[in-house]
Structure 1
């Protein structure tokens, strides 16, 4: 009898030990788009919706030694959910958080990763200044996404990329590349050599309309250069988790090219900005989700860029 009681106690202890060591449940849905590359797909929601902190494609890449997080979402809560999802997927240490550009929906989850003592936050050479310039805007516009201490929740990169940077995750290398002004002034892409996967972030929009925040001509030039990257697949900043490369560029190129050509024509014809915003590239814009949120603003930015060329 003593043996039986001892055996039962031992089994209970083993079960309890296994329970303590179980990984957490994933808090976000993820898709493995290539070996070791995981993407959480953001929703197509306007910025004033209750779900606007979960609208960007974010995720992580796992090597044998390190995990690199790529964008952290639009709130501290989404960042925590991503961190929990990573821990539910792998025990590999999180070494890097890569911010692809300044927009809130990609970076406001950074604080969730500060708990990892050795994590390094990485971004474009212009990103730290861009975040500093937008800090008060983020605090005023998105207080609900910044937790109890909004001033402490916005984390800039500590390591800046001027042109290119290679990160070794152990068994796989990531090539980070900083781009001139296009979608924003702080765009960064990540290329995984092992799987030939390009993480284009917001330099590529699919399904929802591209949002122009810097230079239309610059963005089109970047797309031409992006197309030379020998990738097989691409992760866009918004849209499906993955798409074939370079075919995925077609719709965005058509919209941005039409925006460029028709804005130039409107300026040449002497159209005022308000009239141009109602007419330029309207047929192309209608093919995209959330066009009513961004298209008129895109025309305005394009008009101001091209007005004095």
Structure 2
């Protein structure tokens, strides 16, 4: 299936285009970088999909503790996950005991099967299983159309579900703390903090440079922004963008976009403008601030309009 057809299939199904991969460098041309002691990440690029990049959109990586390795996102395909596993094995022979899937979008979950031989604990939000059962097969079929069946991998469900009280995993002299968020980017967003460094892994609750993609709740996302701020992190790993950023200014940029989306959509509704017109008039000042704005912003307006018109 051509890329444009795949994009239209996602739109017809009412799904966010963030579920599509972004075109990037093929795995052999990229590498992971050590962004903090024992923490390695690869940046996902802000472009569209081809079969050549194996659905390599998201920032993915791993944390090495004294006793074990924790995978931070699994990659967007079986090939992407296998590449990530090879990067781990270049740096350590410690067992890969945990694989974290921060939410159900394909760029974050379809590499998990690459770690089957490790028999890891698969960590996810307590609503991740339901989201994958509802959408996973659709996502998988669309990715097969684009990448081929041998490249996609099976749907892997969580074995450890993080509830509202959170949880911790000890990698040996290194504790990772998990937070299950309310509906925001999706309805199953998980963040984590490495307590050894204070580094916050915000996943797709934080986009940097690439326009945010709304697939959960706009008002909920703005609420979760404040929850993330309360964690008092100074550095963060976003789901998309540079692999490590100053948390406060990066989150301020995201919050500004979300607030503009909220305020302008509310105004459009109050003035009786139809949704088609709102797409053209909501948050125009944000256009030059984000990569892929014209690809994703209209979908965000539709999602916001449907949420806010019933306030």
What interval of TM-score do these two structures reach, taking the shorter chain for normalisation?
0.7 to 0.9
**Residues 108, 146 of structure 1: 8 Å contact kept:** no
Quick one: distance in 1 between partners of 2:51 and 2:140?
17
Structure 1 length-normalised TM: 0.88
Quick one: distance in 2 between partners of 1:141 and 1:69?
25
Q: Which residue of 2 aligns with 1:125?
A: 126
Q: Any unmatched runs of 5+ in structure 2?
A: 1-26
Note the C-alpha offset of 1:92: 1.2
Q: Any unmatched runs of 5+ in structure 1?
A: 1-24
Q: Which residue of 1 aligns with 2:168?
A: 166
Q: Which moved more, 1:240-249 or 1:184-193?
A: 240-249
Quick one: distance in 2 between partners of 1:114 and 1:261?
46
1:40 aligns with 2:45: no
Q: Which residue of 1 aligns with 2:273?
A: 271
Counting only pairs closer than 5 Å after superposition, residues 1-309 of structure 1 correspond to structure 2 as 28-47=30-49, 50-51=52-53, 53-117=55-119, 119-143=120-144, 144-145=146-147, 147-148=149-150, 153-163=154-164, 164-309=166-311
Quick one: distance in 2 between partners of 1:287 and 1:154?
35
**Residues 166, 173 of structure 1: 8 Å contact kept:** yes
Quick one: distance in 1 between partners of 2:99 and 2:30?
17
Q: CA RMSD in A?
A: 1.8
What SS does the corresponding residue of 1:121 show, helix, strand or coil?
Answer: strand
Quick one: distance in 2 between partners of 1:222 and 1:202?
12
What SS does the corresponding residue of 1:74 show, helix, strand or coil?
Answer: coil
Note the C-alpha offset of 1:147: 3.9
Quick one: distance in 1 between partners of 2:42 and 2:106?
16
Quick one: distance in 2 between partners of 1:176 and 1:241?
19
**Residues 174, 194 of structure 2: 8 Å contact kept:** yes
**Residues 146, 153 of structure 1: 8 Å contact kept:** no
Note the C-alpha offset of 1:135: 2.1
Q: Which residue of 2 aligns with 1:14?
A: none
Note the C-alpha offset of 1:146: 6.5
Quick one: distance in 2 between partners of 1:120 and 1:250?
34
Quick one: distance in 2 between partners of 1:285 and 1:264?
19
Structure 2 length-normalised TM: 0.87
Regions of 4+ moved over 3 Å: 25-28, 47-52, 144-150
Quick one: distance in 1 between partners of 2:122 and 2:147?
20
Note the C-alpha offset of 1:245: 2.1
Note the C-alpha offset of 1:286: 3.0
What SS does the corresponding residue of 2:118 show, helix, strand or coil?
Answer: coil
Note the C-alpha offset of 1:139: 2.5
| CA pair 218-76 structure 1, distance change in 2 beyond 3 A | same
**Residues 101, 122 of structure 2: 8 Å contact kept:** yes
What SS does the corresponding residue of 2:176 show, helix, strand or coil?
Answer: strand
Quick one: distance in 1 between partners of 2:139 and 2:278?
30
